[in-house]
Amino acid sequence: MTIILLLLSTMQLIGPANAAIPNRLRHPQDRCGIVRGRVIDEKGNPVDRVRVFAIAVNHPPNMRSETETETDPRGEFSLPCLEPGPNAIWISKEREYYPNTFSSLFPGDWKNPLVRISAGEAINGLEVRLPPQGSRLSGRVIDGVSGKLMDTAVLRLCRAKTRDCRNVSARTVNEGFSFVLPALDLTLQVSAPGYVTSKPVQVALKRGVTKTITVPLTRQSP
């Protein structure tokens, strides 16, 4: 009898098993939506191993809710638990020279799908087309005397014969810089504190090809 009373008392103290679990954790499907679809290439063929991610657009950039997945051998994907409201769908397959449509320096004419989803809703059959295959630009900026890799250099990349330019760090990976970009003609110029700015270099980026360059910089005279 004493044991039964102790058990009843304990149950009253802790309550039901689910009482301490917020509703958003017990029933996440009731508070978010699902988007299913497939990714195709320029010829309409399904593409596997494409990174697919959705970003809720009703937040400041540093507070955006992100969900991601990868396409299967049939090019199909399922994005679970998207935040209700408008979500932008982005894709990337940089290992095969397809630019990240969210972060590419020169996104081109590719338009990302925008889906509006409600809590508990499932959207099926969304078709997302890969942008045209691009190119990889990689390389190093070094001190012209010591040959040492430079951390403070800045690349200025411009579309050839235009004023469409981007300034980016010359140290994006351990050994220098690496970007997957659309196949286009660029003008590249490099600057760094205490060094003479390099002369513009013409760079032709071809589809499915990695272009590698090394830019030596000369120290400014005292």
Q: What pLDDT does residue 175 have? A: 83
- Distance from chain centroid for Cα 20: 36
Query: Domains of the chain by range and CATH?
Result: 32-129 (2.60.40.10), 135-217 (2.60.40.1120)
pLDDT of residue 33: 92
Look at residue 128 in the predicted model and tell me its pLDDT: 95
DSSP letters for 194-219:
TBPPPPPEEEE--TT-EEEEEEEEPB
Taking 70 as the pLDDT cut, the residues of the chain under it are: 1-30, 60-64
